[in-house]
Amino acid sequence: MQVSMIAAMDKNRLIGNGPRIPWKLPADLRHFKDMTIGKPVVMGRKTFETLPKPLAKRTNIILTRNQDYEAPEGCIVSHSVEDVLKTAETLSDNNELEMMICGGAPIYEAFLPYASRLYLTQVHAAFEGDVYFPAFDIEDWNEIERIDCEKDKKNPHAYSFLFLERK
């Protein structure tokens, strides 16, 4: 099983403002969908609760310490990182399974040591907010792909899609 993390961050590693994503970037929402479809997605309870409904065509795994947490049908509730890793192993019997860690901050922090791939969207601007992606050493990662995109009518900020693999 492969543990991958997917996140969009501004130039200061900001990922959120209260419950919201600080920018509007439809191209990134599409990218998120393309990269996660068909794969298990792991989210903290707060991120999950910002969604109108569970992410379709993906097994939603929600992390909470609340033993009584009730998630919608089809979602899996987990109470620790170890629990998530064990659960993910049962979702596929081949080693190709890619589990996508989708945030927020404590979830990225907890899974970073296990992650071998990072799909990062860098938004080339600075925003107001209070939720950050954890600091990580770029020297530990090889840049496999980088797509730089200019702003356009629908996407008001320049951004880059990065694909990194652990060295």
Ligand X SMILES: NC(=O)c1ccc[n+]([C@@H]2O[C@H](COP(=O)([O-])OP(=O)(O)OC[C@H]3O[C@@H](n4cnc5c(N)ncnc54)[C@H](OP(=O)(O)O)[C@@H]3O)[C@@H](O)[C@H]2O)c1
Run of H or E including 161: strand 159-166
CB closer to ligand X out of 19 and 156: 19
**How far is it, in rounded angstroms, from Cα 151 to Cα 58?**
29
Place of tokens 């919201």: 20
Contact call for residues 39 and 100 (beta carbons, < 8 A)? yes
Residue 93 C-beta: closest distance to ligand X, Å: 26
Backbone angles phi, psi at 29, to 5 degrees: -65, -40
User: Any contact of residue 40 with ligand X (CB under 6 A)?
Assistant: no
63-122 positions binding ligand X, by CB under 6 A: 63-66, 79-81, 102-107, 110
CB closer to ligand X out of 93 and 110: 110
Which residues is 61 bridged to in the sheet?
A: 42, 76
CB closer to ligand X out of 46 and 141: 46
CB closer to ligand X out of 7 and 164: 7
Residue 20 C-beta: closest distance to ligand X, Å: 5
Give the number of residues in contact with ligand X, rule: CB under 6 A: 29
